[in-house]
Chain A
């Protein structure tokens, strides 16, 4: 399955990746060959095989429902570029 330039642009937008215009042809080629690999796998007969959700042969352990975490806001917000009144500040999101 050959991708178009516009497919690569769309995927980059969804992943919020900024890519250079002159890199797009290469990404298009590389991603197309990954899809070819997937196509090849699609041809395998999987009749009677359950979908695999996880490679480990184990199931999820559960934790008791209790509060074990304390307030570490100050600690965590040391990394934040901007905070105010206990909030993380990010560039304005307009809805």
Chain B
């Protein structure tokens, strides 16, 4: 039987505020435990939370970025459950009236295949603290869990998709699109390794063509692009196997274990998951007006979708290239700087997506950490365009810039003597030299039939380029060789 997966994602995005959502404590990452947990975060008696205006603004920006309805009146509620890293006994979150309503995101999981993924809603909430299950013991030697409440109260935007996603690949494309939007908007650093973006996936399968959804399982704990795809694919396979063997999928929460590449059920507290939501009496409804929304709208930066379109329309890039180059804000900024510097969008695109991306990939670096700056690359591309160097020499200059052997492309071109030789006399002298020292090859060439010669001339081109240390103009070398070989 052919199966179809149905996936919905809940993405928690940590907002890039200075202070917490309801208190004035810092949210800086990596501080000493409990040094950023104030009375409000600890849930001490007599506290009163006050909502952070930046968190509201960031949520609205996101809403506008995904063409969503903005909740002009949103309400915070208490979600009640007990866990030691939630000292109040409830999480302050939004339920019935979230700040961002239904929206839509367009993704392109493969070239030319556009999919619309609907967003059910997005709401503001506070994060919980962290439990450290290490080897702490009390005075009687009993095992204890350590609690760090620095993260408690950190503002989160939880973005809930409709079950519109049909494969792990689409899920990745969707998450990347969200990542791209929140980083373009500057509302989150999007750093997955530090937990700034966390993802839970609701996964079910159904026979292809069936309308009704299957029973879903929720997969938690998938926090990198690499693992999301694996975790979802694994869960899809598990469910299909289970059903084909005559079993049934249980509605449950499963944890993904990246070391074993498997999901397993969390200790079952499903029946206890009755959160008894009610409006938080400490917080009043949040009301926004049109003027506020319009003000934020007027300050919205160009988003990936618009940027991509502009790259296609104004720069003449292909849809695919435009998509790659606009996918992340650092990538787009880098590319635009290179382009502005060399004034040729297509050549800039080739270099950024080719030589640069390849080298970054090889060394596992992000474009933000590229050893070659956009200015340096832009100047290098400009030297290719004005024929100062040929393509081969350009690669050498790039490698030298990468290795830090010079500050600018021009310095390296001078130091290494890579300036392209376009002087016919000079090139002809090298060609003569090469022909003279390879009489056997010349003989073979001249004895060969016409249609084989094209390939054989490559040997001589290589020798000439080598002898000129890569500086000869390749077109001229070809031309001269053909003339001289007859």
Measured CB to CB, the residues of A under 8 A from B are 13-14, 16, 51, 53-54, 56, 58-69, 71-73, 76-77, 82, 84-95
What's the tally of chain B residues with a CB closer than 8 Å to chain A?
56
Q: Does B42 contact A (CB under 8 A)?
A: yes
Q: Which residue of A lies closest to B81 (CB)?
A: A14
Shortest CB distance B133–A (Å): 7
Contact check: which of A16, A64, A67, A92 meets B143 at CB < 8 Å?
A: A92
- What chain A residues lie within 8 Å of B25 (beta carbons)? 67, 69
Report which of B44, B54, B147, B281 forms a contact with A89, defined as CB distance below 8 A: B147
Would A62 and B285 count as touching, CB distance under 8 A? Answer: no
CB within 8 Å for A59 and B284 given contacts A65-B18, A67-B24: yes
- CB atoms of B36 and A53 under 8 A apart: no
The answer to whether B146 has its CB under 8 Å from any CB of chain A is yes
Q: How far is the CA of A33 from the CA of B382 in the complex (A)?
A: 83
Taking the closest CB of chain B, its distance from the CB of A92, in whole angstroms, is: 4
Choose one: B37, B82, B144, B284; the contact of A54 (CB below 8 Å): B284
Cβ-based interface call for B403 (8 A) = no
A89 to chain B: closest residue by CB: B144
Chain A residues within an 8 Å CB radius of B51: 60-63
- Interface contact B83-A69, CB-CB below 8 Å: no
Known: A54-B281, A85-B33. A63 touches B145 (CB 8 A): no
A64: nearest residue on chain B (CB-CB)? B53
Q: Which of B266-274, B298-306, B421-429 contacts A (4 or more CB under 8 A)?
A: B266-274
Q: Select A62's contact among B35, B50, B96, B136, beta carbons within 8 Å.
A: B50
* Bound CA–CA A62/B279 (angstroms): 18
The interface residues of chain B lying within 8 Å CB-to-CB of A69 are 19, 23-26, 36, 38
**Contact assessment for B38 and A87 in the assembled complex, using a CB-CB cutoff below 8 Å:** no
Q: B477 on the interface (CB 8 Å rule)?
A: no
Q: Check if A86 sits within 8 Å of B34, measured CB to CB.
A: yes
Within 8 A of A (CB), among B43-78: 44, 50-56, 75
